[in-house]
A and B are shown apart, each in its own frame.
Chain A
Amino acid sequence: MRRDTRLPLGLLAAGLAMWAGAVPGIDLAAMDDTGLVSALPLLAVAGLVALNVGFCLALRRSPVPSRLLAAYAVALVVMLYGITSVVGEAPRGSVVWRHAGIIDNLVRTGQPDPTIDAYFNWPGLFMFGASVSELAGFASPMAFARWAPVYFNLLYLAPLAMILRSATDDARLVWLGVWLFCLTNWINQDYFAPQSATYFLFLVVVAVVLRWFGPEPAPAGARQRGVLMGVVLIVVAASVPTHQLTPFAMLAAVTALVAIRRCRATGLPVVIAVLIASWLGFMTLAYLRGHLPELVGRIGDVGGTASANVGDRLQGSPGHLLVVRTRLLLTGGVGALALLGALRHLDRRQRLWPMAALAVAPLPLLLLQPYGGEMIMRVYLFSLPFLVFFAAAVFYSGPRSVISWRGTAAMASVCTLLLGGFLVSRYGNERMDQYTAAELAAVDRLYQLAPAGSLLVAGAGNLPWKYRDYERYDYLTLTSLWEKDPRLEDVVHRAAGAMAAGSSYLIFTRSQQAYTDLLGVMPTGTLRRIEDAVAASPQFALVHRSADASIFATAPALPMVVAAGAGS
């Protein structure tokens, strides 16, 4: 083994050992409103810092030790994105559970019903999940949801490297770009969800176009190019019915490359546009009919998008505000680093022009609509593979440039700063995103109690529910009632009114309280006071209570519930 490899290898092993020793001991109950960082042991952070330092040292070696750097990248993904998979009771976030419910529906019915909700108009990943889940013999789709952030981010690495390699012959730049991507992909769009899968497909499409259909394509015969174009078309065709936004990002990226004459497949944007239009025109009519005004009405409303994406997020508890500001700082920092790198390499603009075009290509998506207050984050995600290229270029002036020890120290410092920003930004909502065993058991109990057709009411929507019998229940949240009229007594009264119509159950959990307090959806403690008011009301009867959850039924439903053996 070379002497200059021993230290990076040792730091890799030490980093992994420290992380593995510390992470299983994390006490999630000890988190405050800044999220996981408040409960993260110093040893785990030290492990991640050791990894950063070792990676920067390994980059100094010549020739670049590709296998070692690949091992570093895999270790970083596992250590950054696998923390909550190791310590959490179950997959984090409520949306994953809903996705499992949609897959369950498709397995039971065998056909998508587009009238249920929007998810059934873009059901590609759920159909994938239904097929794979059944073939693999999984008892539940949740079997492959727990580790989704890890395997999706591992999947992103190779096409990302292909993209970066198309712009430089300097392997150090490629690896540093990959590293920076892992440290700055904080936006939590890598759980078991359509956007996570189609983001991989987006990277693959861009990689293939840059490498084999660019102005200086890799050597390929007609047969190879035919197969590769076939692959691009298959991948785009699968993305269109899977996610609303990603095909538009693909279209924007390929169009940008054609516009600057860096893509020889000039007809590809037209083909992608036709595929998108065909799907929207023929397969999503049920959804579009009901939502056309809100979809079309926000086009060009940049002010509304900025307000929904930034302004509305700057609220909540002091701890949460710190997290939001860190997110803005991290995102802005990546942009500033990228700009610095681009300015440093202005003399190579011919080669780097495609990366610059791809970095700004997603920006027009901001004109479409606020996308539930998430469009800026999505645009950031689609720009990120190209932004990190320029950010990495800050540290290298040319393929054969030697980086000084001072430069290495600067690189390690920047990476460590980004690491801190990542941990705060990505895991800042963990207090509401994590579910305890008691909460999971309560939701399970809720479905045991409530017969099909019941109205299920939750304090807030971030509940691990909807994972079964998706179409057989009606759902309501108290936060939606609060938005209409923010008075405590009125919310309780209207909830009782809605629940009086038939079999209904109301559930409160710890994570709902965290959600409303953290994000400022209600004034701090309000949901707890609503729960107290419900408990004191003769219109409700307690049917389940545990350390982190309680379930109430409307009083007339109580005899049936008691007969079913509830009341614990």
Chain B
Amino acid sequence: MTSSRRRWPVLVVVAAAVATVAVVAGIGPPWRPAAVLGFAGVCPGLAVVGPARLDDRVSEAVLAVATSVALIVLVSAALMYAGWWSAWRVLAVLVAVTVTGALVELRTPVGARS
């Protein structure tokens, strides 16, 4: 595993923290939309796709964005149909997915690929 491979788990956790602070503190535009969209649009998906350790960064980014969009849809839908929806809860689940993915990656031994 390269050092850059070790960086993404840290970066997504930092992005999750920044987005959470931006929402909790009620920071205004443009920082709050930037923090939220930057986190929600990439990080949950990267936490899922990252462990695959694809060699191609562009493909990895595409899959991260697609998976993030899909996860937001699925989490929002699950909470709405259950009658538990609030934007806060959606954020909490997305942060949990992201942190879990990052921790799994950090605990995976270097070189583990298949």
Q: Which A residues have a C-beta under 8 Å from some C-beta of B?
A: 106, 110-112, 123-125, 127-128, 130-132, 134-138, 143, 155, 158-159, 161-162, 197, 200-201, 204, 207-208, 211, 220-224, 227-228, 230-231, 234-235, 237-239, 241-242
In the docked arrangement, what's the CA distance between A136 and B29, Å? 8
Residues on the B chain within 8 Å of A111, using CB = 80-81, 83, 85
Q: Which residues of A contact B28 (CB under 8 A)?
A: 137
Q: How far is the CB of A73 from chain B (nearest CB, A)?
A: 13
Residues B113 and A223 in contact, CB atoms below 8 Å apart: yes
What A residues does B72 contact at CB under 8 A?
128, 131-132
Chain B residues within 8 Å of A106, by CB: 80
Q: Which 10 pairs show the lowest CB-CB distances between chains A and B?
A: A221-B114, A238-B70, A134-B87, A227-B52, A127-B76, A238-B73, A136-B33, A204-B66, A131-B90, A136-B36
In the bound complex, what is the Cα–Cα distance between A231 and B61 (angstroms)?
A: 13
The answer on a CB contact under 8 Å between A162 and B62 is yes
The B55-106 residues at the A interface (CB cut-off 8 A) are 58-59, 61-63, 65-67, 69-77, 80-81, 83, 85-87, 90-91
Residues on A with C-beta less than 8 A from B76 are: 127-128, 130-131
**At the interface, yes or no: B10 with Cβ under 8 Å from chain A?**
no
Name B26's contact: one of A112, A137, A204 (CB within 8 Å).
Answer: A137
Residues on the A chain within 8 Å of B113, using CB: 221, 223-224
Q: List 24 A-B contacts (CB under 8 A).
A: A110-B80, A111-B81, A127-B73, A127-B77, A128-B69, A128-B76, A130-B85, A131-B75, A132-B72, A135-B19, A135-B23, A135-B40, A135-B91, A137-B23, A155-B65, A200-B69, A201-B69, A221-B113, A224-B113, A230-B48, A231-B67, A234-B48, A238-B73, A242-B73
* B90 CB → nearest A CB, Å: 4
Cβ contact of A132, chosen from B26, B40, B77, cutoff 8 A: B40
Q: A227 near B91 (CB under 8 angstroms)?
A: no
Residues of B near any A CB (own CB < 8 A): 19, 23, 26-29, 32-33, 36-37, 40, 48-49, 51-54, 58-59, 61-63, 65-67, 69-77, 80-81, 83, 85-87, 90-91, 112-114
Most A Cβ at <10 Å: residue of B27, B37, B51, B66 = B66
A-B residue pair count with CB separations less than 8 angstroms: 130
Knowing A132-B72, A135-B36, A223-B114, say if A231 contacts B66 (CB, 8 Å). Answer: yes
Output the least CB separation between B66 and chain A (Å): 4
- Using Cβ atoms and an 8 Å threshold, which residues of chain A touch B74? 234, 237-238
Taking the closest CB of chain B, its distance from the CB of A178, in whole angstroms, is 13
Bound CA–CA A174/B36 (angstroms): 33
CB distance from B47 to the nearest CB of A (A): 11
If over half of A's interface residues share one DSSP class (helix, strand or loop), that class is named, otherwise mixed; here it is helix
Q: Name the distance in Å between A483's Cβ and chain B's nearest Cβ.
A: 36
Residues in B neighbouring A241, C-beta threshold 8 A: 73, 77
Chain A residue contacts of B19, Cβ below 8 A: 135
Q: Which of B59, B75, B86 has the largest count of A CB atoms less than 10 A from its CB?
A: B59
Nearest CB of chain A from residue B19's CB, rounded to whole Å = 8
Return chain B residues, CB-CB under 8 Å to A135: 19, 23, 36, 40, 87, 90-91
* Closest partner residue, chain B, to A70 (CB atom): B58
Shortest CB–CB separation between residue B85 and chain A, in angstroms? 5
- B-side contacts of A132, CB under 8 Å: 36-37, 40, 72
Known: A110-B85, A136-B32, A208-B63. 4 other contacts (CB 8 A): A135-B91, A136-B33, A137-B23, A231-B67
How far is it, in angstroms, between the C-alpha of A123 and the C-alpha of B74 when the chains are bound?
Answer: 11
Instruction: List residues of chain A with CB within 8 A of the CB of B58.
Output: 158, 161-162
- Also in contact, A227 and B33, with CB within 8 A (given A125-B73, A131-B76, A200-B69): no
CA distance A89 to B81 in the complex (A): 36
Residue of A nearest to B71 (CB): A234
**In the complex, what residues of A have CB within 8 A of residue B48's CB?**
227, 230-231, 234
Contact call B59/A234, Cβ cutoff below 8 A: no
Distance of A221 from chain B, by nearest CB (Å): 2
Per the bound structure, the CA–CA distance linking A82 and B68 in Å amounts to: 25
A161–B71 CA distance with the chains assembled, in angstroms: 24
Q: From A110, which residue of chain B is reached at the shortest CB distance? A: B85
* Minimum Cβ distance to chain B for residue A230 (Å): 7
Q: How far is the CA of A227 from the CA of B76 in the complex (A)?
A: 22
Checking A134, A207, A230 against B62 with a beta-carbon cut-off of 8 angstroms, the contacting residue is A207
A204 lies within 8 A of B80 (CB) = no
The closest CB in chain A to the CB of B108 belongs to A223
Chain B residues, Cβ within 8 Å of A136 = 32-33, 36-37
Q: Establish whether residues B54 and A224, one from each chain, have CB atoms under 8 Å apart when the complex forms.
A: yes
Q: How far is the CB of A45 from chain B (nearest CB, A)?
A: 32
| Chain B residues near A223 (CB-CB < 8 A) | 51-52, 112-114
Residue of B nearest to A127 (CB): B76
Interface centre among A124, A127, A138, A242 (most CB of B within 10 A): A127
CB B105 to nearest CB in A, in angstroms, measures 11
Given A135-B23, A227-B52, A234-B48: A159 touches B33 (CB 8 Å cut-off): no
CB distance from B38 to the nearest CB of A (A): 10
Inside 8 A of B66's CB, which chain A residues have their CB? Answer: 159, 200-201, 204, 231, 235
Residues in A whose Cβ lies below 8 Å from that of B75:
131
**Cα distance A386–B44 in the bound complex, in angstroms:** 30
Is the Cβ of A235 less than 8 Å from the Cβ of B70?
A: yes
A228 in contact with B61 (CB, 8 Å): no
* Interchain CB contact under 8 A, A123 and B32: no
CA distance A211 to B60 in the complex (A): 13
Q: Cα distance A136–B36 when bound, in Å? A: 6
Docked-complex contact A222 and B73, CB < 8 angstroms: no
